[in-house]
Each structure stands twice: as structure tokens, then as C-alpha cells.
Chain A
Amino acid sequence: MNTQLKSGLLLLGGVFLGLVAGVVGGWLLVRVLDKESTVGPLPPLPAYDMEVIIEETYINRVMLESSNALTAGNVDMQPGGAATFGVQLAAGPFKPVARGAVAFRADGAGGMAVQLLHVKMGRLSLLRLVPGSVMDEMNDIVNTELVGRVGSKGLEVVAVASDETSLRLYLAQRE
């Protein structure tokens, strides 16, 4: 066979194989990234001394003021210690919108823990791509701005709940 013809066929084969492999690989990547976390139901309410009801509007304000990377967004509280969110990120010329859900729980150490249940940009799940440091930072902000600003020093979060418009923290005196 002519050497040039053989090279051309090889090139064409490479292009075609690469295309097929890329589409399959991309699809597999999308499938691998597709992940959702789950949390158990809220535990029964323990004895508490103080109930703090934090309005959804305040959470929205804190969220938008906490990071320059967010240009717009909203947190919508849901019953059962959960919330859904939609935020627009400032990513250079693009303004992608990410939507997701978080769960609020008492962390057992006197604070509140926020867990990301799922986050999607378009149809692509990004939960596996969110670094742990981002979640740590989010938990720090939440504990500083929500938990740290209410209750005297001797109180700690023993339970968390929510309804359609607010987040509820139940605080008790440290033993």
C-alpha cells in the first residue's frame, strides 16, 4: 500500500477513534461525577434552653456578603433542616449558575455543620469537585455569622431544624 495513503488512513483512524473515545470518556466522566449525598432524618429534639430562629433573609444577606465570587443568588429554606440554593458565580467573562441543596445538622461539638447534598451546574454534577476546604470555609462562616452571634458563651447547639422560611437552632447550657 502506498505509504502516504497508509499514513492518511492512520490519521483518519486516529481522529475517529479519538472522537469516539472522547465522547464515551466524557459521558463516563459525567456519570462518575454524578453524585448526591444523603443525610438521615432529624433526630428527636433534646432538652434545650433557648431557641434561635434565623430568618432566610438574613442567611441570604450573609451568603452574598461572605464572598466576592457570588454575584447573585438565593437560599430557600426547606423543612427538615435543609435548604436549596441557586447562586451565580463570577467566573471571568462567564456567569454560570450553580444550583444545589445543603443540610444543616448539629455537629455534636457545640456548633452547626453544613453538608452539601448536591450541586449542579447545568446538567453536570459538581459535588465531587468541591474541595473540602470550601466546605470547611462555609462551615466557619455559618458558625461565625449564625451561631457565634447569638447565645451567651456557655451555650452550644444541640439540635437544628428548619421550616419554609427560617432555620432554627436549639441551644443548651454546656454541662
Chain B
Amino acid sequence: MQCPQCGFENREDARFCKRCGHVLQGASPPVILTCPVCGAALKPGARFCARCGHECTPRPGSASPQEHQPVQPAAPVPVSADRDAIRPPVKLVGSGLSKPANAKRAERSIVGWWLALVALGLMFCLSCCGVLALGLLPGLNDTPPAAILGDPNGHDITILVREAYLNENLVAILPEKGLKDASLDVQPNNLLMTTANFDLVFVSLELKIMARLSVVDGEIVVSIEDIVAGGSDLMQFLNMDEVTLGKNFTRALREQLENELGEGSRLLDITTDEEHIILKARL
């Protein structure tokens, strides 16, 4: 193409005269690319907008920049903080880019990522469960230890009632009238020796009760072996005879021991040592 100003012969596609710089008529106008989001002018070959960061890369197969039509840069728009939310699809101004092809490609890519994520999640759960199952597996093949249930007629519990505890409650099972002090001595061979001192008006008298414990048909039996009442004066003072005293003592002691056993228990045996009454029962 010849320059109309200086006559220099330029290349056919030259836009300016190589010698004088005059604009050559008929040359293809410069392509001005703009960002579809903010409207800022893009340099040729730029992949991202320098102002808003929007990706403006032309896809392979899209029209060459030479095919773009010149346009005036659009008025700049304010950049929103939520740019991604308003980001429109990639668009080259004046290009003949195929929009559905790009969208399909993007969709395929998203689906691929989703599939990978789902596979990751599934495999995570499966292998996590697998590790736990491996830990549990020996427990599923384990044999439980055989329960030791013992003799069906044997005792379940043994209760050792201390002599001191019986002494604390002794006053409750003796006549209150004139009672000064009392003590219960547990002896071997199921014997109980109870000694009580009564203060009479002019004289102190001592009451001794020797009792024997046994079990008959699951019931505690307290048998009075001997009562030494310090003569008839004490019985007159207590207003009772030896039989009544023995019965009262027996009933009260038996009730106390049965209380310790609890309801529904079956007494199997009763013994004594130097310090305890020992009850054996099945619950």
C-alpha cells in the first residue's frame, strides 16, 4: 500500500506509514478488547483484567483478535465486593466465540470435580469403617467367659454383725424401767451373753440372759438358755416373769437380725465368733 503523504510503499496490512507515520487508509483498524465486567480496556494477549481480575482468556478455537470489531471502552462500573456472584460468562467483545461450547466444557469440568469429591467421600467412609471393623472383628469371634453361678443352694451373702453394733441397740430390747447399763457379749458356738444392770431404790441388781442362736426353716430362733435375775426382787421390780422376759428379748433380737437381712432373703445359717454374729443367706 502506498502512503498518500510520502509515497512510500508499505505492506498491504500496514496501518501506519513506515517512513512518515501517516495513517494509511484501508488498513484494518486496531482491535480494542474490553473487560465484560468492568469495561476496562484490555491489552492484546491479556488473560485477566488488570482492574477487576476477571478472566478474559479466549478459548481455543475462538476467533482471533484480528476479527474483533473496534469498540469504544464502556463506562467503568464499580467493582463489587462479591464479584463472583455477578460475574457473567467470559465474553470477548466483538468476538464470534461459541458460548454453548464453553458452557459445556465448564459443566464437564464441574461434574468431574464433583465425581472426584463424591468418590473421595465414599472411599473415606468405607475405609474408615473398614479400619473400625478390623478393630471390632476379634470381638465378634470372641467366646464369652462362662458365668460362674455357684451352688444353686449355696449362700449369696454373708453378713457379719459386729458386737458393738448390737450393743448400741441393746437398750431397745431390754426393759427400760431402771435400766442403768447393758452389754451383749457374743461368744463362739452361737452363744450370746447379755448383762444388764438395774438401779432399784436402795440396791442395784444384775440381769444375765444366756441365749443361743439357730436357724429353723429359714427363721432365726433365739433360745433362752438361762436367766439369772438376781432374785425375785428384780422380777417384781420389772413386773414380769422370766418366761415373758425371755420371749420379749428373743423377739426383739430376732427382729433386729432379720432387719439386717432385708426382705426376700432366705436365711441358711447363723454362727458366731468372738466378735460377730454371722448370717449366711440366699437372696
A residues contacting B by CB (< 8 A) are 3, 6-7, 10-11, 13-19, 21-23, 25-27, 29-30, 48-58, 60-61, 64, 71-74, 76, 86-88, 94-99, 120-124, 145, 148-153, 155, 173
Mind listing 14 A-B residue pairs with CB under 8 Å?
A7-B115, A11-B115, A14-B115, A22-B123, A26-B129, A50-B159, A51-B160, A52-B157, A58-B156, A71-B144, A72-B146, A123-B136, A145-B283, A150-B265
Contact: A60 with B147, CB < 8 Å?
yes
Chain B residues near A49 (CB-CB < 8 A): 161-162, 164-165, 168
Overall SS of chain A's interface: mixed
Q: Given A22-B124, A26-B132, A30-B131, A73–B147 Cβ distance below 8 Å?
A: yes
In the bound assembly, the distance between CA atoms of A97 and B121 in angstroms comes to 31
In the bound assembly, the distance between CA atoms of A14 and B73 in angstroms comes to 45
Chain A residues near B132 (CB-CB < 8 A): 26, 29-30, 124
In B147-180, the 8 Å CB interface with A consists of 147-151, 154-162, 164-165, 168
Q: Is B88 in the interface zone, CB < 8 Å from A?
A: no
Q: Given A30-B132, A73-B145, A51–B159 Cβ distance below 8 Å?
A: yes
Q: Is B109 in the interface zone, CB < 8 Å from A?
A: yes
Within 8 Å by CB of A97, from B115, B139, B256, B265, lies: B139
Q: How many A-B residue pairs have CB under 8 A?
A: 200
Q: Is B259 in the interface zone, CB < 8 Å from A?
A: yes
Contact: B122 with A18, CB < 8 Å?
yes
Within 8 Å by CB of B262, from A71, A72, A149, lies: A149
Chain B residues near A153 (CB-CB < 8 A): 259
Q: Given A51-B159, A60-B149, A29–B144 Cβ distance below 8 Å?
A: no
Q: Given A18-B122, A150-B261, A152-B259, A3–B112 Cβ distance below 8 Å?
A: yes
Chain A residues near B123 (CB-CB < 8 A): 14-19, 21-22
Contact: A61 with B121, CB < 8 Å?
no
Contact: A86 with B127, CB < 8 Å?
no
Contact: A57 with B124, CB < 8 Å?
no
Chain B residues near A53 (CB-CB < 8 A): 157-160
Contact: B157 with A14, CB < 8 Å?
no
Contact: A122 with B127, CB < 8 Å?
no
B residues contacting A by CB (< 8 A) are 105, 108-109, 111-113, 115-132, 135-140, 142-151, 154-162, 164-165, 168, 256, 259-265, 276, 283
Contact: A14 with B130, CB < 8 Å?
no
**Minimum distance in angstroms from B282 CB to a CB of chain A:** 8
Contact: B283 with A58, CB < 8 Å?
yes
In the bound assembly, the distance between CA atoms of A86 and B148 in angstroms comes to 12
Contact: B112 with A151, CB < 8 Å?
no
Find the B residue at minimum CB distance from A153: B259
Chain B residues near A22 (CB-CB < 8 A): 123-131
**Minimum distance in angstroms from A66 CB to a CB of chain B:** 13
Q: Given A11-B116, A124-B132, A173–B165 Cβ distance below 8 Å?
A: yes
Chain A residues near B143 (CB-CB < 8 A): 97
Q: Given A7-B111, A94-B140, A96-B140, A21–B146 Cβ distance below 8 Å?
A: no
Contact: A27 with B160, CB < 8 Å?
no
Contact: B119 with A14, CB < 8 Å?
yes
Contact: A54 with B139, CB < 8 Å?
no
Contact: B159 with A52, CB < 8 Å?
yes
In the bound assembly, the distance between CA atoms of A14 and B142 in angstroms comes to 36
In the bound assembly, the distance between CA atoms of A97 and B146 in angstroms comes to 12
Contact: B116 with A149, CB < 8 Å?
no
Task: Give me 16 other A-B pairs in contact (C-beta within 8 A), A50-B162, A95-B140, A145-B283 excluded.
Answer: A3-B105, A14-B117, A15-B123, A16-B123, A18-B127, A19-B123, A50-B160, A54-B156, A57-B149, A57-B150, A86-B145, A88-B144, A94-B140, A124-B139, A150-B260, A150-B265
